[in-house]
Amino acid sequence: MLPSEASGGPVVSAHSDHVFKLLLVGDSGVGKSCLLLRFTSDTYDDMTPTIGVDFKIKSVIVNGKRVNLTIWDTAGQERFRTLTSSYYRGASGVILVYDVTRKETFASLSDVWVAEVQQYSTLPGCVLMLVGNKADRESDRQVGKEQGVDLARSWGCLFLECSAKTRLNVQQCFSELVHKIMEDPTLVDPALAHAHLPKNLQPRQGDSEGLGSCSC
């Protein structure tokens, strides 16, 4: 569990020891926005699909350190794919979400989403987490937990099933991801990662990405 110090409004703590950018990706309707709302404000709203990109901010305490999380919720619709690709830049962690009641959303992880992460992610140590949402709907399940475990093992990433509706494992999902990020010095201090890149791949001076939201 991550002790919380600020809710999901667009204001971070005045002081933080670390700032991590996290992404939620996956097909439309898998519950990415619901997971984000449940984690940042402990509310649930089975809402319409995200248009473009949205984000929320939450401050948490990890191992005695104050950490600001900027969590980006990306649209799953194909027409926004080129719009959202730039938001992978600088992400320390990516949560790949599927709906356990829709097997096609699980297949899309291998067919579409993990390839996007590999193509657009800029931090070599970026931590991946596979999350099966809507685990409360057991009678409608189309994807077995073992399938998720096996896929996560093949990718060498974290795995959990959760339910944004019932709160099941939502806090644990983000907690495990952030703790894993904190174990990697190149993610805690991205300058260490850039130091090992060829000069032509290192970021340009002043090349930074401000916070904002995009809607179309």
Per-residue pLDDT of the chain (216 residues; tens, 9 = 90+): 666 544 434 345 557 899 999 999 999 999 999 999 999 999 998 766 655 567 899 999 998 999 999 999 887 555 455 555 678 889 999 999 999 999 999 999 999 999 999 999 999 899 999 999 999 999 999 999 999 999 999 999 999 999 999 999 999 999 999 999 999 998 998 665 544 433 433 333 333 333 333 333
Q: From residue 194, give the alpha-carbon distance in Å to each of 29, 88, 126, 140, 183.
A: 36, 16, 13, 45, 17
Place of tokens 């060829």: 198
For Cα atoms 71, 201, 204, give the angle at the middle one, nearest 5 degrees.
70
- Give the domain ranges of the chain: 4-189
Q: Report residue 138 CA to chain centroid gap.
A: 24
The amino acid that residue 93 corresponds to is: G
Fold assignment, 4-189: Rossmann fold (3.40.50)
